[in-house]
Structure 1
Amino acid sequence: GIGTCLLFAMFCVFTSTLHFITVTQDNLGLSLKYLNLFYGVTVVQIFVFSVMVILSCDKVEKKAEEFIKTCIYIQASTGDENALALANLAKDLRPKFSAAGFFDINQRILPTFFSNLSTYLIIILQFKFSSL
């Protein structure tokens, strides 16, 4: 499903970014510099796509919550039992997105993702500069 694809995309962004940082060197030939530029652009594209998907999943979850609250408000103001039944049905069918069941896909995953990525980038850069 979509969760497995999202998990794979996030893994690809994470590893591609780390690989791009560690492989890029100043003494590359011109053709390899263009290849690295293309690789960097591809990493950015995958990253932007992943962020768009994460934000879309979060928006769907928030709209579902808003729909449930609207149904409850309609039931409270009009006394319509169909609105309450619809709210209960929406609660049962509430959309939740997860990365293959490992973690939920919503806005709260972005700071964790950035934090982990920056931590590993710092470690890689320290290893790279200590070997000079």
Structure 2
Amino acid sequence: MVLFYYLYSDKEILESHGNIIYKIWFILYITLEEVFWLYMVILINEIVLNLKEKYEVLNQKFVQVLNISVENKFMSKDVDLMTLKEIKKIKFLYRYINDLVERTNDLLGWPTFCLMAYTMLDALTILNCLVVGEYMQLIFTDTLELFAIIIYTVYIALSCDFTSYEGKKIITLCYDLEDKFPMKSPIRKELLEVAVQAKHFPPKFVSMGLFDINRKILLSMVATITTYVIAIIQFNSVL
């Protein structure tokens, strides 16, 4: 649909170039651009949401193991040993998932950076055209494209934020459940170690080591775009 809007708004451009090859390349470029960004967004979100599901399963298993120990009123040594073994296993799996997050950052850092940079540049270009009053015939279709890119960016930022939150939830679970065990209990000590580890090495998504990908980045992008728009307005008012 966006492609047809492009072709309609750029009718003068296409008519000024009678070469059919130019028209084909123009259509191909627009199509490939839309397909590329859509594919990248789907790929990134599938990976991020898969990690989120792993954290959810791990947290559920964590609560289930501890509740079994709490429900056992006599707290035999066998139960304690079994619980400690399960907690250490969960701690290992938590580190493993965090390692997957780091590998995801290495693999998908540059696509997320390019997407967010493209979003900001596209927004500034359109706003500059509105302020200057140039290329107004392309504003409608460019705005449609920008709207799609913004949706992609917001979706990725929120997915990463929700996944990070789910990974940090184990800290709250440790502090909530430790009160159910005696002070000198080895299980309580192990819970504190898990909480400290998760607190010092929380899962987070980073774009090329420059900034964290979460809901806060959306406000930062809005603030940056607003700053540049003000500069554009002031510059044009001087001219």
**Structure 1 residue 88: Cα displacement:** 5.7
Which of 37, 52, 65 pairs up with 2:168?
65
* Deviation digits for residues 89-126 of structure 1 (CA, Å, limit 9, x no counterpart): 97287421111101111222222221111000111122
**Structure 2 unaligned spans of 5+:** 1-106
Distance 1:128 1:119 in 2: 15
Note the residue ranges of structure 1 that are not aligned, 5 or more in a row: none
Change (3 A) 1:8 1:27: closer
Contact 1:74 1:80 in 2 (8 A): no
Q: After superposing the two structures, state which structure 1 stretch, 67-76 or 87-96, moved more.
A: 87-96
After TM superposition, the runs of 4+ consecutive aligned structure 1 residues lying more than 6 A away are none
Q: Which residue of 2 aligns with 1:87?
A: 194
Aligned sequence identity (%): 23
User: Is the 2:174–2:195 contact (alpha carbons within 8 Å) kept by the matching residues of 1?
Assistant: no
TM-score, structure 2 length as denominator? 0.45
The one-letter code sitting in structure 2 at the alignment partner of 1:66 is: K
TM, length-normalised to structure 1: 0.75
Mark the CA change 1:61 to 1:128 in structure 2 (over 3 Å): closer, same or farther.
Answer: same
1:101 corresponds to 2:209: yes
More helix by share: 2
User: 2:125 matched to 1:16?
Assistant: no
CA RMSD in angstroms comes to: 3.0
CA distance in 2, matches of 1:108, 1:7: 15
Task: Please state how far the C-alpha of 1:26 moved relative to its aligned partner.
Answer: 5.0
- Computing the radius of gyration over CA atoms, which structure comes out larger, 1 or 2? 2
Higher mean Cα deviation, 88-97 or 2-11? 88-97
Distance 1:48 1:80, change over 3 A: farther
CA contact (8 A) 1:57 1:97 kept: yes
Tell me the number of residue pairs that the alignment of Structure 1 and Structure 2 aligns: 127
Partner of 1:41: 144
- 2:231 corresponds to which letter in structure 1? I
